[in-house]
Amino acid sequence: MLLALGGCVSLAPEPEAPAVVAAMPEVYQEGADTGAYRPAAWWHGFEDPVLDGLVDRAFEANLDIAQAAARADRAAAQARVARAGLLPSLEASAGSSYSDTPVAGGAFANFPGAPTRITNETYSLGLAAAYEIDLFGRVRNDMGAARSDALAAGYDLRAVQLATAAEVISAYFDIVDARFQIETTLRTIDVLSERNDRTEERYLRGLAQSFELYQVREQLRSAEASLPVREIALANAEGRLALLLAEYPEALAPALAQPLLPQLAFDPVPAGLPADLLAQRPDVAANWQRLEAARQRIGARRAERFPALRLSASTGTQSASPENVFDVGQNWLLSLGSNLVAPIFDGGRISANIAAARATYDEAAAAYGNSVLNAYREASTAIDAYEEQRQRYRLLVAQQAEARAALDLQARRYEAGVGDYVGYLDALRSYHQVESSLSAAGRDVALARLGVHRALGGDWFAEAGEDEQTPDERDWAE
């Protein structure tokens, strides 16, 4: 009866989600694709083996991931420690003792024929078992709280993996754009240098005013001054990427020496429904598990108000000689005991612990509600930003077409002798400027798409179609 009672009673409050979760909108906004979200390894859509390889290397080598994995392993081990309280403990013992004491000074020391010393030799073997019947769920609630902590640590690991993949992809596209910007700036400097030479020649011949010459020189100096800034941006992006891969920048040279040619993806990202964020976002799931852990610890602290029943048993053999210690039939011993302990006065310790557990629960509830609100905000904002960046990229593509047409026209006019070479150089410089803007816009589209996937969460590191294990299935009980 006691065992059955101990398996049913729990003093933890009922699970309850914060009000902000129930008030979550049903959809993000009009026009958002609510199809099923499948995030696994979505960056493969860029069709860039260099990027794929860098992300894989980050999952294996990143030190933040290594730290998070160690924390998850530690939390899983602590959950197993807490689970041990539900099971009996069994200990084996083997002992021996020898004593040799004088009789002089004792009550029988003066008796005729009394020995002058007394020796005693004892050998024993034994087994001892102890078990606490969890009458009011203290042990089970502590175990459940530790298990929730382990699950939260597992979700934290996924959050770090997600953040690491996002940072690798972001740094990669910054490198791609920085390289193109440097190339474009060098081409622009060449064009402006030639334009400056032509303007100086025209100025000396009296065909151009000094203002035009100063204006061209100012544009040339501006382009030259922007080149170090571009190179610093490239070095910074390469340093960020090296850090994410736990390497020094020099070690990345072979991988980055290859052509970096990611293909931009412009298709909409099915975002699912806002409620899906509760399962997809690892940070939200981790905060929910912490809320569960805090709830169960309230039950464990409440149970400390009530009696605890502990059972003990020991058996074994005892003999004065080693050869007889195995004679179980003659030298066996048995001890059974039970102990019922209930608190009467503890100076308010239990009440204070309950109040602290309740405050921890309120804190965890606020943190969970805040993570849900933040997840919705990030997802909604990222979806809008992706759409705006796609529109901006389409406009710049149209501008590039116009700049290309103007350049072709100036080239034909110059070849036909009805246009000057300076006009062609100006059109070429404008075309390079549009190319630079289009490269930056392509990076922004990729990062906006990255923002959508990062905001929606999910298991980025799993291949599409794999039956990936969730943190709830983590074998924390091994």
CATH of the domain at 172: 1.20.1600.10
The rounded distance, in Å, linking the Cα atoms of 85 and 81 is 7
The rounded distance, in Å, linking the Cα atoms of 138 and 12 is 9
Neighbour count for residue 319 (Cβ, 10 Å) = 17
pLDDT at 236 over 70: yes
Domain range for 189: 2-87+135-306+350-473
User: Which pLDDT score is estimated for 425?
Assistant: 87
By three-state DSSP, how is residue 467 classified?
coil
Vertex 413 angle, CA 408 and 415, to 5°: 95
User: Which pLDDT score is estimated for 107?
Assistant: 58
195: buried, middle or exposed (CB in 10 Å: 19+, 13-18, 0-12)?
Answer: buried
Which of 246-250, 268-272, 341-345, 346-350 shows the lowest mean pLDDT across its residues?
268-272
The answer to whether the CB of 264 falls within 8 A of the CB of 180 is no
Does some domain include residue 95?
no
User: Which pLDDT score is estimated for 112?
Assistant: 64
The single residue listed with the structure tokens 């400027």 is: 433
pLDDT at 248 over 90: yes
pLDDT at 302 over 80: yes
Residue 87 is given by DSSP the state S
Average pLDDT over residues 409-426: 84
Q: Residue 400 to residues 179, 186, 394, 443: CA-CA distances in angstroms?
A: 19, 19, 10, 16
The single residue listed with the structure tokens 């103007």 is: 406
Does some domain include residue 401?
yes
pLDDT at 141 over 90: yes
User: Which pLDDT score is estimated for 213?
Assistant: 84
pLDDT at 478 over 60: no
Rounded to two decimals, what is the model's pTM? 0.85
Q: How close are the terminal C-alpha atoms of the chain, in Å?
A: 30
Does some domain include residue 21?
yes
Task: Give the pLDDT confidence of 379-389 residue by residue, as tens digits.
Answer: 999 999 999 99
Task: Give the pLDDT confidence of 10-68 residue by residue, as tens digits.
Answer: 788 888 888 888 888 988 876 567 778 888 888 998 999 999 999 999 999 999 999 99
pLDDT-above-70 percentage for the chain: 91
- Report helix, strand and coil shares of the chain as percent, to nearest 5: 65, 10, 25
Q: Residue 311 to residues 109, 129, 133, 134, 300: CA-CA distances in angstroms?
A: 44, 8, 8, 11, 20
Residue 250 is given by DSSP the state G
Does some domain include residue 324?
no
State whether the Cα torsion 230-236-237-239 is positive or negative: positive
Tell me the pLDDT of the chain averaged across its residues: 87
Does some domain include residue 448?
yes
Average pLDDT over residues 158-170: 94
Which of 15-19, 292-296, 403-407, 419-423 shows the lowest mean pLDDT across its residues?
419-423
Average pLDDT over residues 230-239: 95
117-121 LR contacts (CB < 8 Å, sep 24+)? 120/320, 121/96, 121/97, 121/320, 121/321
The rounded distance, in Å, linking the Cα atoms of 48 and 263 is 7
The answer to whether the CB of 62 falls within 8 A of the CB of 245 is yes
pLDDT at 413 over 50: yes
The answer to whether the CB of 335 falls within 8 A of the CB of 341 is no
CA nearest neighbour of 458 among 268, 269, 245: 269
User: Which pLDDT score is estimated for 67?
Assistant: 97
Number of domains forming the structure of the chain: 1
Does some domain include residue 441?
yes
pLDDT at 288 over 60: yes
Please, which pLDDT band fits residue 372 given cuts at 50, 70 and 90? very high
Does some domain include residue 345?
no
Q: At what angle do helices 138-204 and 49-61 cross, to 10 degrees?
A: 140
Task: Give the pLDDT confidence of 438-449 residue by residue, as tens digits.
Answer: 999 999 999 999
Does some domain include residue 358?
yes
The single residue listed with the structure tokens 């101990």 is: 6
